[in-house]
């Protein structure tokens, strides 16, 4: 069974691509992923804030308290060089490229564009096959308009595209007023693909300690629906390769993603929860399903259930929402009806 697919111009042997997670930090894991059937890997992100923070904190370590007191004009020896920037990350790319035969996609995470040109160049020079820009941005500033937010993405893309020749894909959040138009603008701006969607970790509240606490939870298949919908809508409408991320756990999740139009489906939570060998299970499951359902290849499935190809395009729109509501009775209403309290 031909499971191959094309993403960002890269010919991939199947649609299974492990994506950014702590697993990507060691070369051993990457090798294991390749052995288990991964078609490509998206490395963990190089965080722009982290790079800046490293530089500033190192400077703070080395200068804090210095030149103040005659007996202790400094507190640390000054090494000939430091890895404050992306050096460690770049080395990781280089070593991954040396060790793997599958494509290596690097990931750059941040909000501003000032630093990205150099980072992107460095990443390309380190051998990455493509670059994913992960714009993790929560617009808390009430003075910031939706146009401003969109421009932020476009500017970042523009900077990176002028710096590198490798394909660039944009990882987006689902919070755009006009997702379709945004996708088109990114395509116009030179993006080669979209990764839908970024998963913002929603903090929790601890009422005992009166603290806002970060709450890192793994995804579930339920979360597949949102990216699935937008991939289905965008497929064939924008000249971009689409990657589905968030909620991919089962064979059916992968198949649905491809059917909606995704070139690849990305896995992070599933591998964290059930281990890297899970890739083998998924791969053979996909193959079995396609054989059982008499598909000639995976590409035959791709986009078949997208909005432009499916039998019920309206189902992806508001009508779908209305129908869901009308066919679903909330439990409290069922209770009320039974006792003759309502309707």
Partner 1 sequence: MKKQMITIDGNEAAAMVAHKVNEVIAIYPITPSSAMGEWADQWSADGKPNIWGAVPSVVEMQSEGGAAGAVHGALQTGALTTTFTASQGLLLMIPNMYKIAGELTATVFHIAARSIAAQGLSIFGDHSDVMATRQTGFALLASNNVQEVHDFALIASAATLKARVPFLHFFDGFRTSHEVNKIEPLDDAVLRAMMNDELIRQHRARGLTPDAPVMRGTAQNPDVYFQARESVNLFYQACPAIVQQTMDEFAQLTGRQYRLYEYEGHPEAERVIVIMGSGAETVAETAVHLSQPGERVGVLKVRLYRPFDVASFVTALPSTTKAIAVLDRTKEPGSSGEPLYLDVVSAMVEKWSGSLPKIIGGRYGLSSKEFTPGMVKAIYDELAKDKPKNHFTIGINDDLTHTSLPWDKTFSIEPDGTVRAVFYGLGSDGTVGANKNSIKIIGEETDNHAQGYFVYDSKKSGAVTVSHLRFGKNPIRAPYLIESANFVGVHQLSFLERYDVARLAAPGAVLLLNSPFGPDEVWDTLPGSLQEAIIEKKLKFYVVDGYEVAKETGMGRRINTIMQVCFFAISGVLPTDEAIAAIKHAIEKSYGKRGQAVVKQNFAAVDAALAHLHQVNVPEKVTSTWERPSIVPAIAPEFVQSVTARIIEGLGDDLPVSALPNDGTYPTGTTQWEKRNIATEIPVWDPEICIQCGKCALVCPHQVIRLKVYDNALLANAPESFKSTPARFKEWKEMAYTLQVSPEDCTGCSLCVDVCPVKNKQQPKFKAINMNPVDGLRAAERENWNFFKTLPEIDRTQIPLHQIKYNQLLTPLFEFSGACEGCGETPYLGLLTRLFGDRTVVANATGCSSIYGGNLPTTPWTQNGDGRGPAWSNSLFEDNAEFGLGMRVALDQRLDAATHLLREHRDLIGTDLVEDILFADQIEEADINAQRARIAQLKIRLQELLAMGNDQLPNYQLPITNLLSMADIFVKKSVWIVGGDGWAYDIGYGGLDHVLASGRNVNVLVLDTEVYSNTGGQMSKATPRGAVAKFAAAGKPMPKKDLAMLAVSYGNIYVARVAFGAKDTQTVNAFLEAEAYDGPSLIIAYSHCIAHGYDLKFGLQQQNMAVSSGYWPLFRFNPDLAVEGKNPFQLDSQAPKTSLEEYIYREGRYRILQQSNPEAAARLLEQAKGDVQARWNSYAKLANGNK
Q: State which of residues 6, 26, 59, 125 lies at the interface with partner 1 (CB under 8 A).
A: 59
Q: Which sign, positive or negative, has the C-alpha torsion 287, 290, 294, 299?
A: negative
Residue 49 or 312: the one with the smaller Cβ distance to partner 1 is 49
Report helix, strand or coil for 170: strand
Q: State which of residues 6, 26, 63, 297 lies at the interface with partner 1 (CB under 8 A).
A: 63
Comparing CA positions, the residue from 41, 10, 7, 16 lying closest to residue 26 is 41
State the nearest-atom distance from the C-beta of 116 to partner 1, in Å.
13
Q: State which of residues 9, 75, 138, 323 lies at the interface with partner 1 (CB under 8 A).
A: 75
26 binds partner 1 (CB under 8 A): no
Residue 58 or 310: the one with the smaller Cβ distance to partner 1 is 58
Q: Is 205 exposed, middle or buried (0-12, 13-18, 19+ CB in 10 A)?
A: exposed
All residues at 6 or more sequence positions from 25 whose CB lies less than 8 Å from its CB, including other chains? 44, 92
81 binds partner 1 (CB under 8 A): yes
Give the footprint of partner 1 on residues 242-261 (CB under 8 A): none
Return the range that interacts with partner 1 (CB under 8 A); candidates 29-37, 186-194, 206-214, 288-296.
Answer: 206-214
Distance CA 315, CA 310 (A): 9
What is each CA distance from 89 to 97, 106, 127, 136, in whole angstroms?
12, 9, 12, 19
State the nearest-atom distance from the C-beta of 238 to partner 1, in Å.
35
Contact 185, 154 (CB under 8 A): yes
83 binds partner 1 (CB under 8 A): yes
All residues at 6 or more sequence positions from 112 whose CB lies less than 8 Å from its CB, including other chains? 48, 156
Residue 29 or 274: the one with the smaller Cβ distance to partner 1 is 29
Residue 18 or 86: the one with the smaller Cβ distance to partner 1 is 86
125 binds partner 1 (CB under 8 A): no
55 binds partner 1 (CB under 8 A): yes
State the nearest-atom distance from the C-beta of 157 to partner 1, in Å.
22
Contact 155, 117 (CB under 8 A): no
What is each CA distance from 253 to 256, 258, 262, 267, in whole angstroms?
5, 9, 11, 10
300 binds partner 1 (CB under 8 A): no
Q: State which of residues 66, 146, 162, 177 lies at the interface with partner 1 (CB under 8 A).
A: 66
State the nearest-atom distance from the C-beta of 312 to partner 1, in Å.
49
54 binds partner 1 (CB under 8 A): yes
121 binds partner 1 (CB under 8 A): no
Comparing CA positions, the residue from 126, 193, 105, 119 lying closest to residue 159 is 119
Q: Under the rule (CB under 8 A), what is the footprint of partner 1?
A: 51-52, 54-85, 88, 115, 118, 209-211
């Amino acid at each position: 069974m031909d499971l191959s697919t094309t993403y960002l111009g890269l010919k991939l042997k199947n649609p299974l691509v492990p994506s950014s997670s702590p697993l990507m930090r060691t070369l051993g894991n990457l090798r294991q992923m390749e052995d288990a059937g991964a078609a490509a890997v998206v490395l963990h992100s190089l965080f722009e804030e982290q790079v800046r923070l490293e530089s500033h904190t190192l400077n703070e370590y080395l200068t804090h308290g210095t030149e103040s007191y005659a007996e202790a004009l400094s507190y640390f020896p000054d090494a000939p060089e430091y890895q404050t920037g992306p050096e460690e990350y770049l080395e990781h790319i280089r070593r991954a490229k040396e060790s793997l035969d599958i494509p290596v996609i690097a990931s750059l995470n941040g909000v501003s564009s000032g630093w990205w040109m150099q980072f992107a160049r460095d990443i390309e020079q380190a051998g990455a096959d493509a670059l994913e820009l992960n714009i993790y941005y929560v617009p808390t500033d009430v003075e910031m308009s939706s146009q401003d937010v969109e421009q932020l993405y476009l500017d970042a893309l523009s900077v990176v595209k002028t710096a590198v020749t490798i394909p660039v894909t944009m990882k987006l959040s689902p919070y755009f007023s006009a997702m379709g138009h945004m996708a088109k603008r990114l395509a116009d701006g030179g993006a080669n693909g979209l990764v839908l969607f970024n998963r913002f970790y929603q903090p929790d509240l601890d009422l005992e300690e009166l603290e806002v606490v970060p709450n890192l939870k793994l995804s579930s298949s339920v979360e597949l629906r949102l990216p699935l919908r937008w991939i289905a809508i965008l497929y064939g409408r924008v000249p971009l390769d689409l990657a589905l991320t968030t909620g991919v756990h089962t064979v059916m999740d992968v198949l649905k993603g491809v059917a909606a139009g995704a070139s690849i489906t990305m896995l992070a939570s599933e591998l964290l929860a059930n281990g890297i060998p899970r890739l083998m299970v998924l791969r053979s499951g996909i193959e079995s399903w396609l054989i059982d359902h008499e598909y000639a290849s995976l590409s035959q499935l791709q986009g078949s259930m997208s909005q432009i190809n499916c039998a019920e395009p309206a189902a992806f729109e508001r009508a779908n929402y209305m129908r869901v509501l009308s066919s679903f009775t909330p439990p409290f209403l069922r209770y009320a009806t039974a006792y003759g309290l309502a309707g």
